[in-house]
Chains A and B, each alone.
Chain A
Amino acid sequence: MRLTRDRLTAILMILPSLVLLGVFVYGFIGRTAYVSLTDWGQNPAQALALNPVISFIGLENYQSLFTSALDSRFRQDLVNTFFFTLFFLLGCLAIGLTLAILLDRRVKGEGFFRTVFLFPMALAFIVTGTIWRWMLQPQGGVNVLPTLIGLPRLQFRWLTSREQVWQFNWQNLPVILGVGVGVILLWLTVLSFRRGRRGRGTVMAVLTAVAAIWTATGARSVEILSYPEPHGFNLALVGIIIAAVWQMSGYTMALYLAGLRGISDDLREAARVDGASELQLFRHVIFPLLGPISLSAVIILGHISLKIFDLIFAMAGPDNIRTSVPALSMYLRAFRANQFAEGAAIAVVLLLMVGAVIIPYLWTQLRGEVRR
């Protein structure tokens, strides 16, 4: 009797939080999705009304984001997010792992080094951005560092460079996506067969074939734009990537260091007794054990990277098209231009990208626990 009353109290205690999260997370996401299907903002008189009159227009906002001439900024935003995420992840993983391996070698003053590598994590992105904006002034900062040892000044226009590398035509996007998906599927096919999982391998092989056929036929005939539109990796992003790596690589260092400390001395010793060199020890024992940590780091940093907003706001300003990302465009569209429906559509695209990373991760992380 007592037990059931306590259990009821327990449920009553967590209920307010569940209701709040239900409304503020899921209710609001639903509302945003609905707003993205309306014309809210097209009529300026209704934009800021407390109860605006809005009407349902279907997927028009999305169609416009991906195919209308007016929205080429959004498409460059997506390309920027892709390259930013790629180099931010590579930078954080490489620097974080290197620092962790160095610190794991029983270094004197380890506490000092750890403190130095991790302190940027305690800063606001706004603070980091303000600092690095000063570091990357074209006429000063990093560019004049070489003059201190008698070398000529650097000329790179951090944050304002107009140069793009690895340009591609937006019209070719379906083909590029098709090839990308095909290569990943092919890799999974080979991997499955190598591990002796024939069933899965066959499925993957069929999917690879479908991707290849679609790329060769359907993808070519999709016309998303009626004119060529080049997009590429804006070099103005390089400075922002450096600042972001400066701030976040300490996090991967902390993750990897915790992982390395978790590998028992016995295991390393056993490998050495078996005649493994230091390099072989890393390749065959330590790196495989760090795999799950790398995955965690990729997911956590990846979702931060997709959402990055304040760092770019503070470093390059919100109106710098060359360094813009969807998270920033959403804010400008909705809260500067009062185009709420278009802002909501960008927000939904952003949520889908983050969800694609986070949902499988939560699924696998929690599956084991639930069985417990």
Chain B
Amino acid sequence: MTGSTRAGPGTYLLLALASAFFLLPVYLVLITALKPPAEIQLSTTWHLPDTWNWGSFVTAWRAFSPQLLNSLILTVSATAGSAVLGSLNGYVLSKWRFPGANVVFPLILFGMFIPYQSILIPLFQFLASIGLYGSLGGLILTHIVYGLPITTLIFRNFYAEIPDEMIEAAKIDGAGFFGIYRRVIFPLSISGFVVVIIWQFTQIWNEFLFAVTLTTQDTHPITVAIANLAGGEAVNWNLPMAGAILAALPTLIVYIVLGKYFVRGLLAGSVKG
């Protein structure tokens, strides 16, 4: 017998119960989205639809496509921006340690944990004063800046694994700061970039506080649109449910296809990673 004990029937029973707890909401969302509005009654919540109605998805798509597009533009640009800057920062912090780096690094990290309420008022004022309040550009800038701590952390830990001897060798071959980055660091960065991009994509797509405070009707991302719809009283539940599925799909697909990298980003968030 090695390591841990082998699973018995009890283990599987408990795991099945836990899975039911985790999957129950998914079942409810799907069947509600697929019911015609007239069929959605509180007493028959859990019943399968009598007639399957795919129309809710069409309606939700029509209603939400502008906000989905906003989210897509926002997420792609802010993810790219924070990943590139984070990679450079991580490279400098792991391979070109400058005096004071030990003080600077925790100061950078702290930015990842602050409640964004504590910077929201000056941020709002600042964006208003440079004419970016209400624009997607302002929100993109915001996400790039507040994404820097986590992307810097992940890249720094990732680059710490690259042996210093490789850097020394490249230096002897005459490579400078950018030469080493282009020929040694960057080619070895691919899985680091995957982790960072997945993490940032998920975070920015899902973010709500900045989105609701800094955008207006035309520039709302999908989270704000869903919150507004579900908050209204006179709406049939099939629509918010279909909308929630549309809003969740991109990050869910990323998680299911690239789950290993998603978990790595998740664990990196607990600092040591």
Contact = CB atoms under 8 A, between A and B. Distances in A.
Interface in B97-148: 98, 102, 104-111, 113-124, 126, 128-129, 145-146, 148
Contacts of A343: 117, 121
Contacts of B217: none
B209 A309 contact: yes
B11 interface: yes
Nearest to B225: A126
A344 B223 CA distance: 25
B249 to A, nearest CB: 10
Interface string B202-238: 1001111100110000000001001100110000010
Interface stretch (A130-138, A180-188, A195-203, A233-241): A130-138
A50 B128 contact: yes
Interface string B21-58: 11111001100100000000111011000000000000
B15 A126 contact: no
17 contacts: A10-B92, A10-B98, A28-B118, A29-B114, A102-B15, A122-B251, A124-B223, A134-B28, A135-B24, A144-B42, A246-B25, A307-B117, A310-B208, A347-B117, A348-B118, A351-B114, A351-B117
Interface residues on A, range: 35 or more
Given A11-B92, A117-B18, 19 more contacts: A2-B176, A14-B92, A16-B85, A18-B108, A21-B111, A102-B7, A106-B4, A107-B12, A118-B259, A121-B266, A123-B206, A123-B248, A125-B206, A126-B247, A140-B42, A144-B45, A258-B267, A272-B1, A314-B227
A28 to B, nearest CB: 4
Interface of B: 1-7, 11-12, 14-15, 18-19, 21-25, 28-29, 32, 41-43, 45-46, 85, 88-89, 91-93, 96, 98, 102, 104-111, 113-124, 126, 128-129, 145-146, 148-149, 152, 171, 176-178, 202, 205-209, 212-213, 223, 226-227, 230-231, 237, 240-241, 243-244, 247-248, 251-252, 254-256, 259, 262-263, 266-267, 269-272
Contact of A32 (B3, B122, B240, B248): B122
B119 A13 contact: no
B19 A113 contact: yes
B226 A127 contact: yes
Contact of A310 (B129, B209, B263): B209
Nearest to A140: B42
Interface string A104-117: 11111000010111
B123 A28 contact: yes
A351 B3 CA distance: 44
A307 B112 CA distance: 12
A230 to B, nearest CB: 27
B244 A7 contact: no
Contact of B263 (A118, A127, A278, A299): A118
Given A334-B120, A350-B117, A105 B7 contact: yes
Contacts of A331: 117, 120, 209, 212-213
